[in-house]
Amino acid sequence: MTGDAYVAGVGMHPFGRWPDASMRTMASEAVLQAVGDAQLTVRDIQVAYFANSLGGLLTGQESIRGQVSLHDVGIRDIPIINVENACASGSTALWLAIRAVRSGEFRVALAVGVEKMFVGDTQRTLSALQTAADTEATAGQGLQFVALYAMRLEEAIRTGALTTEHLAKVTTKNKRNGSLNPYAQFRKLMTEGEVLAGRPIAGPLTLPMVSAISDGAAAVIVTASPGSNGAVRVRASVLSSGAVDGLGELVVRRAIALAYEEAGIGPEELNVAEVHDAVSPAEFFRYEEMGLCPAGGAGELFDSGATGLSGRIPVNPSGGLSARGHPVAATGLAQISELAWQLRGQAGARQVTGARIAFAQNSGGWLDGDAAACAVHILEATNAA
């Protein structure tokens, strides 16, 4: 388990509402882009981990979603493993691909995530999303995670740690970042007033704060050697599942701690981060869990500008889930795509200057108030600074 692993290529199908796109057309586009980015061909891929969460319920394709979706690009006669972990499906596929390479068994592994969520019936999509929780325990209660975040945010506002303005401001920050990202679903700037005037969803949350229904795909090629195209080295790769924890998301803290330990670094060494903000103000909880600030200090950190694009540790330069969109199983690999571009200096107008160490956190599902799965990856640039 001592072998190195590299992110050698990344690719995305833009997130958005794509009536004419299917799981297979979106997956194909992301895979071909990632393969080209790695200066390889699809025949070089030795094992593929295919992430999708809702295809069975929303498109009718269950069971062999990866084989069906990868067939057209010629990925056929290798091990293809279909994986699922709700909103953390994509990073779960990456976790497996990294292990396939680290073990020495494979030299080139593919992780790809795709979701087709616009199926002409929003209620059906929302019902499918409820399967990210224990359906026996929560049947008919709606999207549990939104209510749980609303409760946590109300508590933070009550204690003075955050204000309603903070909730609006972090959303406008991420909409601004998303406006610079050609792969983002929402590229329109919003004012704080517009965010607060949005349709109320739960507690202090309004519609612009909530991650959106989206179609899209993202792919990552993991290799055993860095190649010649500025591959990004994997410094840490952690996956864990939740224990019983009330509202604290203990699993996120644990996964982050394990990742810092594996990478041998602390939060002060991070230069850029993509975190799972299923509602954009959830980013504040991530600041604390990452150790970027003390407990209760997230609002102050944000006010200092540290997490803005030109701050000390820009968070969600891609726009995060509320701006980039959240095609469930693609999100974790979209984070990795964004960070690879950032570490290679290819992020265009949203480039974080001189980023060398990047952090990605992707959560999925809810069980007993904790996330059902959480993956954390830390990446490092290998090209000249």
Of positions 7, 132, 232, 292, contacts its own copies by CB under 8 A: 132
Site membership for its own copies, residue 54 (CB under 8 A) = yes
Using the rule CB under 8 A, give the single segment among 34-42, 48-56, 171-179, 318-326 that binds its own copies: 48-56
Residues in the chain: 385
Site membership for its own copies, residue 190 (CB under 8 A) = no
Site membership for its own copies, residue 344 (CB under 8 A) = no
Between CA 366 and CA 276 the distance in angstroms is 14
Between CA 91 and CA 95 the distance in angstroms is 6
Between CA 113 and CA 50 the distance in angstroms is 6
Hey, what are 5's tokens?
């692993």
Q: Are 92 and 48 in contact (CB under 8 A)?
A: no
HEC profile for 200-268? EEECCEEHHHECCCCEEEEEEEEECCCCCCCCEEEEEEEEECCCCCCCCCHHHHHHHHHHHHHHCCCHH
Between CA 15 and CA 337 the distance in angstroms is 13
Q: Are 273 and 313 in contact (CB under 8 A)?
A: yes
Of positions 33, 85, 91, 271, contacts its own copies by CB under 8 A: 85
Of positions 25, 61, 163, 382, contacts its own copies by CB under 8 A: 61
The least distance separating its own copies from the CB of residue 194, rounded to whole angstroms, comes to 32
Hey, what are 157's tokens?
């506002």
Of positions 114, 128, 210, 313, contacts its own copies by CB under 8 A: 128
Mask 358-377, x = binds its own copies (CB under 8 A)? Answer: ------xx-xx---xx----
Site membership for its own copies, residue 131 (CB under 8 A) = yes
User: In the complex with its own copies, which residue's Cβ is closer, 251 or 378?
Assistant: 251
Site membership for its own copies, residue 41 (CB under 8 A) = no
Site membership for its own copies, residue 259 (CB under 8 A) = no
User: In the complex with its own copies, which residue's Cβ is closer, 78 or 197?
Assistant: 78
The least distance separating its own copies from the CB of residue 57, rounded to whole angstroms, comes to 5
Using the rule CB under 8 A, give the single segment among 130-138, 160-168, 201-209, 337-345 that binds its own copies: 130-138
The least distance separating its own copies from the CB of residue 90, rounded to whole angstroms, comes to 13
Hey, what are 164's tokens?
């309603």
Of positions 41, 43, 104, 191, contacts its own copies by CB under 8 A: 104
Using the rule CB under 8 A, give the single segment among 12-20, 196-204, 233-241, 349-357 that binds its own copies: 233-241
Residues between 157 and 176 that touch its own copies (CB under 8 A): none
# of chain residues touching its own copies (CB under 8 A): 58
Distance, C-alpha 209 to centroid of its chain: 16
Task: Tell the burial category of 193 from Cβ atoms under 10 Å away from its Cβ (0-12, 13-18, 19+).
Answer: exposed
Between CA 328 and CA 115 the distance in angstroms is 6
222-242 b/e (C-beta count within 10 Å ≥ 16 → b)? bbbebbeebbbebbbbbbbbb
Site membership for its own copies, residue 116 (CB under 8 A) = no
Contact residues: its own copies, CB under 8 A: 1, 22, 53-54, 56-57, 59-65, 67-68, 71, 76-86, 89, 92, 95-96, 99-100, 102-105, 128, 131-136, 239-244, 251, 254, 364-365, 367-368, 372-373
